[in-house]
Structure 1
Amino acid sequence: MGFFKNQFADVVEWEEFRQDMIFWKWQEREIKRGSKLIIQMGQDAVFLRDGKIEGIFEKEGSYDIESQIVPFLSTLKGVKFGFNSGMRAEVLFVNTKTFVVKWGTKNAINIPTEQLPGGMPIRANGTFEFKVSDYVALIDKIAGIKQSYLVEDVKIRITAVLDQLLMKWISREGHDMFNLQANAGEIASGIREDLDMQVIDSGLSITNFTIMSFNYPKEIQDMITKNASHGMVSDLGKYQQIELTNGMASGKMQGGAASDMAGMMMGMNVAKEMMDNMNKNEKGKNQKDSDEQVQNVDPSGKMPNFCPNCGEKTTGSKFCPNCGQKLVP
């Protein structure tokens, strides 16, 4: 512990606070008797000595350092301020909020796929969230050598490995390369776990990772849209009904030739449906009659006395003389 004249501080606080700043270090200066520690909402104050944590203060407010802070410091308990001297200290102010960062691939990622020998060029974008989770690791790996640390510093670190992780998780077996959004949750979950392992040794934690969208080249997107349309309207009649309904609902077919054409098409479709139903019913009736005729034939092979179809008395012939019904199998 050293003491210096004319370098005393009245207030210890985060002097250069920014919303995108993860931590800021109060430089080693002398704290004179009666000085205050001010902690704002969303901040923690970590007292350090030789790079080691002396004490962590989390509750916002204004504190008298001599009476309310020093007695709780691990190795400085009992230290009293001299009348004209101060205590040398280093305080790390940490932003405790969860940071939300937007990300996006700068260049298309070429994902290997069987459908395209040259690979599928894909872009993606979304957000990730992180926060400080371990002060000891943060001080050991980052704060020990830096005066401050920004969200942009973390973003650069994350995006440096993001392309590789996207390729790893998109390329997993079972993912439809033409509908990656269906697997966006699974892909994002895997990437979050891998990113967390990348930064956990620095005292940070990736709390969430989301993929808002996957973007294909225009030619491939047009092909996906066309295939989806074909699948939705494989029934031509249904397609016509949808188009006509949409047209009438939007007011684009009110009156004129378009309206007449719409009515004619709908009428033709209704007539066709009625004919199909009639043919279906007639076919069913004929099949039923045929089945009944077969059932009316005497299975024993003997000649019946009366025709099972029209009731005419038989004459010994294999066929009914009145209606021609076959009388024996």
Structure 2
Amino acid sequence: MVFFKNQFANVVEWEEFRDDMIFWKWNNREIKKGSKLIIRSGQDAIFVNNGKIEGVFEDEGDYSIDSEIIPFLSTLKGFKFGFNSGMRVEVLFVNTKEFTVKWGTQNPVLIPTPLLPGGMPIRANGTFNFKVNDYVTLIDKIAGMKDSYLVEDVKIRITSILDQLLMKWISREGKDMFNLQANAFDIAKGIREDLDMQVLGNGMTITGFNVMSFNYPQEIQNMITKTASHEMIGNLSKYQQVSMTDGIASGNVKGGGAASDMAGMMMGMNMANEMMKNMNQNQKPAAEGQATPAASAASSSPEGGKKPNFCPNCGAKNEGANFCPQCGQKLNV
């Protein structure tokens, strides 16, 4: 039964397709006359004979191997199928899509810094993208020894060197240890270039690398948050004032305790100071720009002073005299 089965046509296709599979090899089987090649979307089919690429077929569809494939093979184009003979070649199916992989540091990366003798322990996470770009190198370095290759295999290799690359690019050019997210683009760009050099030797290329977040120890994160809040307020004194005012407005500071009394006193003093400033600003132009009525009257008097209507000594009524008629008090002022 097996004898007769081998005499008839077979189908060459990716039989074990998975989304996370980079390539799969159809091998150790003889292709018979009338056999058919099936290429699906997102796949390339590579015919390999004795470790050498015979032809690469990229367009999806169904193809007759003896009439549509063999004529394009480099050294096998003259192959003729006999009644009991077939062609023994390997067909490597390659997933042509761009793969996206999530990564994350398994352990904190200790970044050297003068602020912490043991280094700053930092975790990070993000994504990277890659795809196959060189079939000759892929076959020479990997496919020649493996029947399939998974995304997880690439991820293991990438993450094994990622800690060292993070340390390299965070430390380079004196990056701010407490604001790494602001430099995430430059750090990711440098890491992508280094990773690309690593995987190019296997026939692949890194098309993208992103750092989504840097994570500090909780104590460091609390310090960064507090420092940032103080910087936003401007200084500690103003921060205390705003905090107290917010507490009163929200009702968190209430009752007759010391905190409430202090808050009320501070608000009262601040309001009084503001009122005094406003009054001084309003009165200053009037004092500088115009004289008082008393000064105007004194300057207009021919004797050089204004005479009171009543004597300041005895209270007698004055009719405009320079001296009081009752006690003789001088009335010029």
> How would you bin the TM-score normalised by the shorter chain?
0.7 to 0.9
Matched length: 294
Map 1:241-256 onto structure 2 (within 5 A): 247=250
Moved over 6 A (4+): 263-270
Establish whether residue 277 from structure 1 lines up as the match of residue 271 from structure 2. no
Q: Deviations over 1:66-92 (max 9, x none)?
A: 111111112222322212221111111
Distance 1:285 1:132, change over 3 A: same
Q: Distance in 2 between matches of 1:265 and 1:10?
A: 92
Query: Over the residues paired in the alignment, what is the CA RMSD in angstroms?
Result: 3.5
Q: Distance in 1 between matches of 2:98 and 2:63?
A: 26
Q: Distance in 2 between matches of 1:193 and 1:244?
A: 55
Deviates more, 1:263-272 or 1:78-87: 263-272
Q: Quote the residue 1:39 is aligned against.
A: 39
Partner letter of residue 312 of structure 1? A
Q: Quote the residue 2:49 is aligned against.
A: 49
1:241 shift after superposition: 5.4
Q: Secondary structure at the match of 2:280?
A: helix
Q: Quote the residue 2:225 is aligned against.
A: 225
Q: Quote the residue 2:61 is aligned against.
A: 61
Pick from 298, 305, 323 the counterpart of residue 312 of structure 1.
298
Partner letter of residue 99 of structure 2? F
Q: Quote the residue 1:22 is aligned against.
A: 22
Q: Distance in 1 between matches of 2:209 and 2:85?
A: 50
Partner letter of residue 189 of structure 1? K
TM-score by length of structure 2 reads 0.76
Q: Distance in 2 between matches of 1:68 and 1:47?
A: 13
Partner letter of residue 226 of structure 1? K
Q: Deviations over 1:39-61 (max 9, x none)?
A: 12211101112212111111222
Q: Distance in 1 between matches of 2:285 and 2:14?
A: 93
Map 1:123-162 onto structure 2 (within 5 A): 123-162=123-162
Map 1:73-222 onto structure 2 (within 5 A): 73-222=73-222
Q: Quote the residue 1:302 is aligned against.
A: none
1:133 shift after superposition: 0.9
Partner letter of residue 130 of structure 2? F
1:120 shift after superposition: 0.4
Gaps in structure 1 of 5+ consecutive residues: 248-252, 297-306, 323-329
Deviates more, 1:82-91 or 1:221-230: 221-230
Identity of aligned residues (%): 63
Distance 1:48 1:265, change over 3 A: farther
Partner letter of residue 274 of structure 2? N
1:6 shift after superposition: 7.0
Q: Quote the residue 2:314 is aligned against.
A: none
Q: Distance in 2 between matches of 1:241 and 1:137?
A: 69
Partner letter of residue 136 of structure 1? V
Please say which structure displays the higher CA radius of gyration.
2
Gaps in structure 2 of 5+ consecutive residues: 307-333
Q: Is the 8 A contact 1:7 1:29 kept in 2?
A: no
